[in-house]
Amino acid sequence: MTVFTLSWATSDLGIVKRDALLVQLFSVLFFAAFIPVSAVVADKIGRRKMLIVATGAIAVFGFFFSYFLSTGNIALITTFACIGMGLMGFTYGPLGTFLSELFPTNVRYSGASLTFNMAGILGAAFAPMIAIYLASTYSVSYVGLYLTAAACISLFSFLVISKEEHKF
């Protein structure tokens, strides 16, 4: 949502870097606003359920990638960034607690830290490079399909995780 969008908007769509950065600065407000909102909702409906809903919404969002990003329209790109960052915020609210609940207390911090950071290193670190490759080799719609595929993998993982199964 941040690295790829900034790169694509400035290099391929010709948007001035200042304007692209302002779009991102504005969209980060949606990320920040939806973290506590999703945490409150997760406390009511359950963290796993909240993550399933948010991840499902991200999977659907991926199908609209090219609609928002192929026109170069700054209003559509701003809408895209705000929706995407809001959805990302929806996952961050319950994620920390959800990950820590997967592990018994004697390894909780290590388990949650390792899972979160390894996902960032092995998954998220390469995502912008993969996205740029897909967009420049095929089209920006393939970036959306990549996002949808990644969300489906996460969604499957959330669906198979059961509270009773993760007793170490």
Predicted local distance difference test score (pLDDT) of residue 124: 85
Q: Angle, nearest 10°, between helix axes 47-62 and 140-160?
A: 160
167 found inside a domain: no
Angle between helices 17-45 and 47-62 (to 10 degrees): 140
CATH of the domain at 140: 1.20.1250.20
Residue 165 maps to a domain: no
pLDDT at 87: 97
Note whether residue 133 is domain-resident: yes
* Residue 4, C-beta contacts closer than 8 angstroms, at least 6 positions apart: 127, 128, 131, 132, 135, 143
**In-domain check, residue 52:** yes
Q: Is residue 168 part of a domain?
A: no
In a domain, 57, yes or no: yes
Q: Structural domain tally of the chain?
A: 1
- Threshold 0.75, pTM exceeds: yes
Please check whether residue 166 lies inside any domain of the structure. no
136 burial class (0-12, 13-18, 19+ CB within 10 angstroms)? middle
Asked if the structure places residue 142 within a domain, the reply is: yes
pLDDT tens for the chain, 168 residues long, are: 888 989 888 988 889 999 999 999 999 999 999 999 999 999 999 999 999 999 999 999 999 988 888 888 999 999 999 999 999 999 999 998 998 888 999 999 899 899 889 988 988 889 999 999 999 999 999 999 999 999 999 999 999 986 555 554
Q: So what's the pLDDT on residue 120?
A: 87
User: By residue range, what is the domain housing residue 32?
Assistant: 3-160
**pLDDT value at position 165?**
52
